Amino acid sequence: MTLIVKTDPFNPDESVISKAVEILRNGGLVAFPTETVYGLGASISRKDAIKKIFSVKGRPMDNPLIVHVDSIDMFLNLTLNPPEYLINALEKLWPGPFTIVYWKSSSVPGEASANLPKAAYRSPSHRVALKLINYLGEAIVAPSANKSGKPSPTTAQHVYSDLGGSIDMIIDAGETLYGIESTIIDFTSVPPRLLRPGALAVEKISEILGIEIEIPLEARGFGEFGEALAPGMKYKHYAPEAELVVVESGDYSDLNKLINMVKKLISDARSKYRSVAVICSSETCSSYLDTNIKIIEIGSRKDIFQIAKNIFKTLRRLDEEKIEFAIVEGFEEKGLGLAVMNRLRKASGGRIVHID
């Protein structure tokens, strides 16, 4: 049985938070909203509950979880001698969609970090998430609250459709703000290295902290090149049931070539698949009106924030509408565009058509 309780995202009810804390203390699992996506939480001191996260998600045991804290103080008790510049960085960027990987202390159980000597830490800015950690009085270990391999959940309904019946509680505070996960940076590398682009643009982080950040090819969502950086990167991710192809361009200022390639792929696909869709921008969707396939608008190219916010619900919609084959237009890899392209490339399982 999964208890589902609604609450106001800005003024969470005490009674809802108390109920969730009780469940967490007893070793239960609670799905809760963050500003990025919904997380599936266990108390850091309940190893039994942390193990349960892996089994209900179907998550490989070697893919570590993020430790969610309510403050830098809470983080300091869970890590090993972080340097001054790292603490300064956290003072500037927490709470928010910014996750760091750093050396863990023995207070982070091996169950949470997949027995690695490093752990991932984040302080979310959502009031429900912060209050939950604060009332519990200790960290909440949580991955995104989806079945492993599926798009991350941006609503309580997404969580329920993946995990309903196998977790104890879902706190429903409506759709999440960013709709895409946090940015993860490994601060044990010099220079710090981007592991996953996310809701906070890496250019912005560089600028605010005045540091260089290495962006490896893997972080852009291309296949594996040697050993995976973040253990989670080697697994299939965000994938809809449909076969998905991404059409990328070297220059998005001229959209005609992109449209022509998408149209060619549409006509090839129509003879092979019963249900075909195109995921397009508001600037281009009308170009496909004559194709007789499903048209799904993801947002305007001028508003990459909205595109990022729509990406997971759009991928889930492909499944809801039983689409067999979908073509998605690429976007410029700037700002949040880096995170958008990482998710699209991964969701496509590397089916990428590049035009120049």
The pair of structure tokens assigned to 229 is 């950086």
Which residue, 16 or 67, has its beta carbon nearer to Mg ion? 67
66 binds, among Mg ion, ligand TXA, none (CB under 5 to 8 A by kind): ligand TXA
CB of 152 to Mg ion, least distance (A): 5
Q: What percent of the chain is helix, strand and coil (3-state, nearest 5)?
A: 35, 20, 45
Count CB-CB contacts under 10 A for residue 78: 20
- Per partner kind, with CB cut-offs from 5 to 8 A, the member of ligand TXA, Mg ion, none near residue 231 is ligand TXA
Q: Which of Mg ion, ligand TXA, none lies near 74, with the C-beta cut-off 5 to 8 A by kind? A: none
Residues lying near ligand TXA in the complex (CB under 6 A): 34, 36-37, 39, 63-66, 97, 99, 101, 113, 116, 118-120, 122, 124, 142-144, 181-182, 184, 195-196, 230-232
For residues 182 and 284, which CB has a smaller minimum distance to ligand TXA in the complex? 182
Instruction: Determine if 287 is a binding residue for Mg ion (CB under 5 A).
Output: no
Alpha carbon of 51 to those of 22, 78, 132, 166, 350: distances in Å?
A: 19, 19, 20, 13, 31
Q: How far is the CB of 29 from Mg ion (least distance, A)?
A: 15
Rounded-to-integer distance, Cα 91 and Cα 134, Å: 18
Q: How far apart are CA 70 and CA 307, in angstroms?
A: 29
Q: Which residue is nearest to Mg ion (CB)?
A: 144
* Least Cβ distance, residue 205 to ligand TXA (angstroms): 14
Q: Which is nearer to ligand TXA, 112 or 247 (CB)?
A: 112
Nearest to ligand TXA of 46, 150 (CB atom)? 150
The option from Mg ion, ligand TXA, none interacting with 28 (CB < 5 to 8 A, set by class) reads none
User: Which of Mg ion, ligand TXA, none does residue 100 bind (CB under 5 to 8 Å by kind)?
Assistant: none
Residues β-bridged to residue 121: 67, 100
Under rule CB under 5 A, residue 144 binds Mg ion: yes
User: Which C-beta is closer to ligand TXA: that of 118 or that of 313?
Assistant: 118
**Buried-state track 79-107, b at ≥16 Cβ within 10 A, e below 16:** beebeeebeebbeebbbbbbbbbbebeee
C-alpha to C-alpha distance for 229 and 274, rounded to whole angstroms: 38
From the list 140-148, 208-216, 264-272, 327-335, the region that binds Mg ion by CB under 5 A is: 140-148
Q: Are 126 and 33 in contact (CB under 8 A)?
A: yes
Q: Which position's Cβ is nearest ligand TXA?
A: 232
Structure tokens at 237: 């991710």
| 271 contacts: CB under 8 Å, gap ≥ 6 | none
Query: What residues make contact with Mg ion under the rule CB under 5 A?
Result: 144
